[in-house]
Amino acid sequence: MKIVICGASAAGLSCLSTLIKQKKDIECTIISEEKIYPYSRCLLTYHLGREVTEKEIEITNPDFFPDNVKWIFGERIIKIDTNKKNVFTDKGNCFEYDKLLLALGAEAIKPPYMLQSDRIFNLRYLEDSVAIDRKLRNSAVVIGGGFVGIKTAYGLIRRGITPTLVMASHYPLSTTIDEETGLIVKDILSGMGIQIYTGADVKEVRQKNSILYLLLSNEKVLDCDVAIVGKGVKPRVKEIDNSGINIKTGILVDEFMQTSIKDIYAAGDCCETYDMVMEKRVINAIWPNAVEQGYYAALNMLNFKISYPGSIAMNSIKTDYFHLISAGNLKDGEAKFFTHYVKSKKQLRKIAIKNGQIVGCALLNDPDYAGVIVELIKNKKPVTDTFVDRVVKGSISPLEYYRKFQEV
Ligand SMILES: Cc1cc2nc3c(=O)[nH]c(=O)nc-3n(C[C@H](O)[C@H](O)[C@H](O)COP(=O)(O)OP(=O)(O)OC[C@H]3O[C@@H](n4cnc5c(N)ncnc54)[C@H](O)[C@@H]3O)c2cc1C
């Protein structure tokens, strides 16, 4: 059987390694637009922070290169002929498949003002980090208060540059966490020396020699060497838009990770999958979800017929100043929140429940409970108000808590 994998990152590599481990009679071709060996995208902010080298973020696995796997680097897929089962690349090559995986990932959103200067970047690919590095001397502005924006700001601090942070919302991480937690994080970020402008966006861009001027909607003018935009991502589907595969925001897949076209599968940031908490299809664009989806896609390509149970939103930021883990849905207006905050330690434990089930959590400087709570969210175990109240107040230890959970 001929298998073609498009994309060599979390989802594509997980699919590849699962196929290899199954030791079936396959010929596999894995194609990536990037010219370099696969690497961990999650470590890009550390690369920008000069804490790790290009070599250190490579995903090295000697098992990826058996004789029946062909690697194609530096070629972009530009077309799929789903009738003839062919994939075409920009280098004029055509690859035939019996089963195809689309693991094309996502691309960072580029506001129009990015076109006005060569000093405004996204941070999505390793080449972005290298390009920023070339222009960055001692000042930077990060635009966007999401996870990538905050991780980028921290990377810059590790490099010795404290950036200014501009965000449209009035607290950081506003699309994933609740206001109370977000305002505490904002406080911590300010304490790290970061100047934060909330409720603001870039209105105009000017550049004089090597200085970039950002005119904000609040009339402030910021000057810097570079600006890094982290305003979210969108699935990388433009190249396959007219292939006949059903796409909403991302590629739509069924429980077997198969798209609307037989023998074509999708996994990772490029596709919409069932969210166990929201109970609808969303894009939960994080590394572990992409890995899991690549695994299920591989097994189903080999006809195991195993359903993917679904994903949940999850995020973790660990810095020298704070450690935040959030999971599930903390933005549900109908949920009931249980919170315990120890101000002196900046330690917060928050659990959201709805219909007697945990639907979300935020754990600030308190990572011990995370694994168990995420399991509770995924397994939809029934919980009582009293139980959750005791958990957030810490009157049940994580171990007792886990035992209780098993008894419920
Ligand atoms: C700076 C940063 C920090 C992050 N930190 C975290 C974190 O801490 N934790 C976490 O869980 N997640 C994190 N993420 C998100 C995580 O990296 C993604 O969810 C994950 O990489 C998704 O994997 P993927 O395989 O779906 O797609 P991607 O990693 O986007 O890879 C897609 C691959 O497909 C290739 N490709 C795309 N289009 C084509 C084409 N037409 N032809 C050929 N090849 C193509 C690309 O070159 C790429 O190799 C971070 C992301 C960024 C940018």
* DSSP state string for 150-171: HHHHHHHHHTT---EEE-SSSS
Q: Determine the Cα–Cα distance for residues 291 and 40; give it in Å rounded to an integer.
A: 12
**Per-residue pLDDT tens listing for the chain (408 residues):** 999 999 999 999 999 999 999 988 999 999 999 999 999 999 999 999 999 999 999 998 889 999 999 999 999 999 999 999 999 999 999 999 999 999 999 999 999 999 999 999 999 999 999 999 999 999 999 999 999 999 999 999 999 999 999 999 999 999 999 999 999 999 999 999 999 999 999 999 999 999 999 999 999 999 999 999 999 999 999 999 999 999 999 999 999 999 999 999 999 999 999 999 999 999 999 999 999 999 999 999 999 999 999 999 999 999 999 999 999 999 999 999 999 999 999 999 999 999 999 999 999 999 988 998 998 899 888 889 998 999 899 888 766 766 766 665
**What tokens does 88 get?**
């075409």
Q: Determine the Cα–Cα distance for residues 388 and 206; give it in Å rounded to an integer.
A: 52
Handedness of CA 394, 395, 399, 405 (dihedral sign): negative
Does ligand 1 have an atom closer than 6 angstroms to the CB of 251? no
Q: Determine the Cα–Cα distance for residues 146 and 5; give it in Å rounded to an integer.
A: 30
Q: Encode burial over 298-311: b for 16+ CB neighbours within 10 A, e otherwise.
A: bbbbbeeeeebebb
Q: Judge whether 141 and 114 are in contact, CB under 8 Å.
A: no
| Nearest protein Cα to ligand 1, atom 33 | 7
Residues constituting the chain: 408
Helix axes 287-301, 10-22, angle to 10 degrees: 40
| Nearest protein Cα to ligand 1, atom 50 | 42
State the pLDDT at residue 67.
93
Please count the other Cβ atoms lying within 10 Å of the Cβ belonging to residue 110: 15
Nearest 10 degrees: Cα torsion 254, 255, 258, 262: -70
Does ligand 1 have an atom closer than 6 angstroms to the CB of 104? yes
Q: What is the reported pTM?
A: 0.96
Q: Determine the Cα–Cα distance for residues 30 and 375; give it in Å rounded to an integer.
A: 33
**What tokens does 262 get?**
């037989």
Does ligand 1 have an atom closer than 6 angstroms to the CB of 42? yes
Among residues 104, 120, 127, the alpha carbon closest in space to that of 44 is found at 127
Dihedral pair phi/psi, residue 86, rounded to 5° = -125, 145
Tell me the fold of 322-407: Enolase-like; domain 1 (3.30.390)
| Nearest protein Cα to ligand 1, atom 5 | 42
Q: Judge whether 285 and 270 are in contact, CB under 8 Å.
A: no
Helix ranges (DSSP H) in 195-333:
287-301
Residue to mutate (ligand 1; options 104, 127, 231; most atoms within 8 A of CB) = 104
What is the Cα 12 distance to its own chain's centre?
15
SS3 state of residue 206: strand
State the pLDDT at residue 405.
61
Tell me the fold of 2-107+233-301: FAD/NAD(P)-binding domain (3.50.50)
Q: Determine the Cα–Cα distance for residues 252 and 169; give it in Å rounded to an integer.
A: 30
Does ligand 1 have an atom closer than 6 angstroms to the CB of 45? yes
SS3 state of residue 190: helix
Parts of the chain belonging to CATH 3.50.50.60: 2-107+233-301, 110-229
Does ligand 1 have an atom closer than 6 angstroms to the CB of 34? yes
What is the Cα 160 distance to its own chain's centre?
25
**What tokens does 54 get?**
């290009």
For residue 58, what is the DSSP state?
B
Q: Answer yes or no: CATH 3.40.190.10 is held by domain 110-229.
A: no
**What tokens does 361 get?**
């959590």
Does ligand 1 have an atom closer than 6 angstroms to the CB of 142? no
Among residues 131, 133, 149, the alpha carbon closest in space to that of 141 is found at 149
**What tokens does 317 get?**
């930021």
Q: Determine the Cα–Cα distance for residues 160 and 19; give it in Å rounded to an integer.
A: 43
DSSP string over 266-298: E-GGGEEEEETTTTEEE----HHHHHHHHHHHH
State the pLDDT at residue 301.
98
Q: Determine the Cα–Cα distance for residues 227 and 88; give it in Å rounded to an integer.
A: 36
- Give the max Cα distance, the chain: 67
Centroid of ligand 1 to alpha carbon of 339 (angstroms): 34
Centroid of ligand 1 to alpha carbon of 61 (angstroms): 18
Handedness of CA 352, 368, 48, 288 (dihedral sign): negative
Query: In which residue are the tokens 């001692």 written?
Result: 138
Centroid of ligand 1 to alpha carbon of 393 (angstroms): 37
Please count the other Cβ atoms lying within 10 Å of the Cβ belonging to residue 24: 14
Does ligand 1 have an atom closer than 6 angstroms to the CB of 286? yes
State the pLDDT at residue 396.
81
Parts of the chain belonging to CATH 3.30.390.30: 322-407
